[in-house]
Amino acid sequence: MTLIKSISGIRGTIGGRPGEGLSPVDIVKFTAAYGSMLKPESPERISVVVGRDARVSGSMVNSLVTATLTGMGIDVTDLGLSTTPTVEMAVKDLGAAGGIILTASHNPWQWNALKLLNSEGEFISAREGEQLLSIAGSGDYTFAEVDRLGVIKYDDTQLRKHIEKIINLPYVNSFAIKMAHFRVAVDAVNSTGGIAIPLLLKSLGVEIIDELYCTPDGRFPHNPEPLPENLKEISELVVKNKAHVGFVVDPDVDRLAIICEDGGMFGEEYTLVSVADYVLSQKPGNTVSNMSSTRALRDITEKAGGTYYASAVGEVNVVARMKEVGAVIGGEGNGGVILPELHYGRDALAGIALFLTHLAQSGKRCSGLRNTYPDYFMSKNKIQLSPEMDVDNILSKIAGKYKKHPINTEDGVKIEFGSEWVHLRRSNTEPIIRIYSESDSEVKAGVLARKIIDDIREIIRE
């Protein structure tokens, strides 16, 4: 069993002994700590929005979370089956003190998690995460007396409101999408994307939708992370049915992968690139992605007259940098699109609407649109370390070795070699260093990664 307690949330495999898996005891403990952190000293009531993906454990976790919050005297707005971006938007729209999304994102069906939001509908900060872990560790929380218990309100309107806001964005052209007569395939991995995406597509005027794994029963038919090795079936479906495009989301609908009409992968890194390209054509400005994302975003941003900025890995870091530089769009290379005019959170539904508008107005096939962007290839590796090794010292020595090159040490070490780069960062949960490299060919990216791995091994031997 696994339980991972971090400043970004609590996740683990369901069951096991308390403290070893995500047991009912752990769910109650961390929910109570979160409620205690939100609760002001004043006697005024606060509310929290709760929504979940379709995991088999979701109903059980939801019952524990909502009961714990009401037991602390906190009112709950329960959205039921929802998406991460929908919950994020609802927190702000409903004036709630925070939100909890019950989803383990791309992790397999045995997992679940508590994703924790602040009153802006954004992930809690590192400082707040540390505060929560401290409260949970000390057990310093108090439950309400019987006349102060919270109440639960059920709200199934938020997803439709979310979709309405997307359709009303100035960048979304529903008429162009309708006139393009797109046939669209969808793989929602039997989670809440199976509810949300067909609803969105129909609202955009798409009349022919090929649904694959759109029954929200939480029984994932394949690994739910939207990577090429997991997408063979939808790729074949797109070709068989002559669909114009295929969309794949993870269980909580904040990551988007795109399949071209020929069954080829558009490239998860290029979801943000293509959508940003379109948005920048309508509203020039700055962009942000994390340091482990493709250089292609920088290329298309500078071509449009804007400035590209990199952030540390993690959505909360991307959002902070976007606010700092006034970015018009940003996100992460894992298929996460963040459009501030909608909300500061990764949103696959917004990504779909923006991409379809771009595709319709370009007059190109999906593969043809992909060919308009620079080709970069990424190599993702990791090197296992023994627990006693000083990771910070290793990274410092790597930075020293390549000090003549542009280096960013905000999040590990990122070194630029012209149009190539390599990013080394320590894992927060394992004794490993992750090594991402990018170049204009798979071979070159692999060679660059191996060179850095050899450097690390030499430092360890010393």
- The DSSP 8-state label assigned to residue 145 in this structure reads P
Examine the residue annotation and report whether 119 is marked as an active-site residue of this protein.
Answer: no
Euclidean distance between CA atoms 305 and 286, whole angstroms: 9
Edge-to-edge strands of the sheet including 432-439?
Answer: 377-384, 432-439, 420-426, 413-417, 407-408
Euclidean distance between CA atoms 172 and 329, whole angstroms: 14
Can you state the angle between helices 442-461 and 391-401, rounded to 10 degrees? 120
Euclidean distance between CA atoms 352 and 134, whole angstroms: 39
Contacts of 12 (CB under 8 A, 6+ apart): 1, 2, 3, 4, 21, 22, 26, 111, 112, 113
Q: Phi/psi of residue 18, each to 5°?
A: -55, 135
- The DSSP 8-state label assigned to residue 42 in this structure reads S
Cα–chain-centroid distance for residue 249? 10
Contacts of 411 (CB under 8 A, 6+ apart): 290, 291, 311, 312, 313, 317, 425
The pairing of beta strand 75-81 with beta strand 287-290:
unpaired
- The pair of structure tokens assigned to 36 is 């205690």
* Catalytic residue from among 105, 235, 274, 379: 105
Euclidean distance between CA atoms 349 and 195, whole angstroms: 11
Do the Cβ atoms of 90 and 99 come closer than 8 Å?
Answer: yes
Give the chain's radius of gyration (CA, Å): 22
Euclidean distance between CA atoms 338 and 343, whole angstroms: 7
- The pair of structure tokens assigned to 315 is 């959505």
* Residue among 103, 126, 130 at smallest CA distance from 314: 126
* Residue among 214, 213, 162, 225 at smallest CA distance from 353: 162
Tokens 């994390």 belong to: 290
Catalytic residue positions, numbered: 105
